[in-house]
């Protein structure tokens, strides 16, 4: 039986250390790639939200153009502004889904949602004026109906 010398032990330790270093590098590079992917998605969503906001600004200035998107009889700047507010809400919702907004920021947004639906005309616009399920994704639509509209309704009855 051969004996393992001190040099061989150091060589094996060096090999194990190199392999361990490679695993650590691989782990952190994957995490960075995932983070970069989320950053790119967030940038794309922000760019789209900015474009949507610009389009809504045009609708506020020229409410008659609302008929291009919807055959609702209302040609009001209020309706166009309601679209802008709701699209902003939807954007914040999607940023929360991607974990860009922290708990404190999200709590502030939810409070703002509830106040706007309770005190303003957004609830009526959401429920009666336009068919919101056609304009917003199902997850956001369900969130508003479950967490905002139902809560503001129960607040009024108490």
The tokens for 2 are 């051969």
Q: What is the pTM of this model?
A: 0.62
Residue 120 has a CB neighbour count (10 Å cut-off) of: 13
For 57, the enclosing helix (H) or strand (E) is helix 6-61
Domain range summary for the chain, segments of one domain joined by +: 37-157
φ/ψ (deg, to 5) at 118: -80, -45
Query: For residues 82 and 62, what is the distance between their CA atoms, to the nearest angstrom?
Result: 14
Confidence of residue 2 (pLDDT cuts 50, 70, 90): low
Task: Report pLDDT digits (tens) over 27-73.
Answer: 888 888 777 777 787 777 778 778 877 877 887 788 777 777 766 66
Confidence of residue 158 (pLDDT cuts 50, 70, 90): very low
């Amino acid at each position: 039986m051969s004996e393992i010398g001190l040099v061989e032990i150091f060589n094996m330790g060096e090999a194990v250390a190199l392999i361990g270093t490679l695993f650590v590098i691989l782990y952190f590079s994957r995490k960075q790639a995932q983070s970069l992917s989320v950053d790119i998605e967030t940038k794309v969503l922000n760019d789209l939200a900015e474009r949507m906001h610009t389009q809504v600004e045009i609708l506020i200035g020229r409410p008659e153009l609302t008929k291009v998107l919807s055959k609702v009889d209302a040609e009001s700047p209020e309706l166009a502004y309601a679209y802008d507010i709701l699209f902003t809400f939807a954007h914040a919702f999607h940023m929360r889904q991607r974990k860009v907004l922290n708990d404190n920021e999200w709590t502030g947004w939810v409070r703002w949602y509830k106040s706007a639906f309770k005190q303003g005309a957004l609830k009526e616009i959401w429920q009666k004026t336009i068919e919101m399920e056609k304009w917003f994704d199902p997850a956001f639509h369900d969130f508003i109906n479950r967490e905002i509209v139902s809560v503001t309704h129960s607040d009024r009855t108490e």
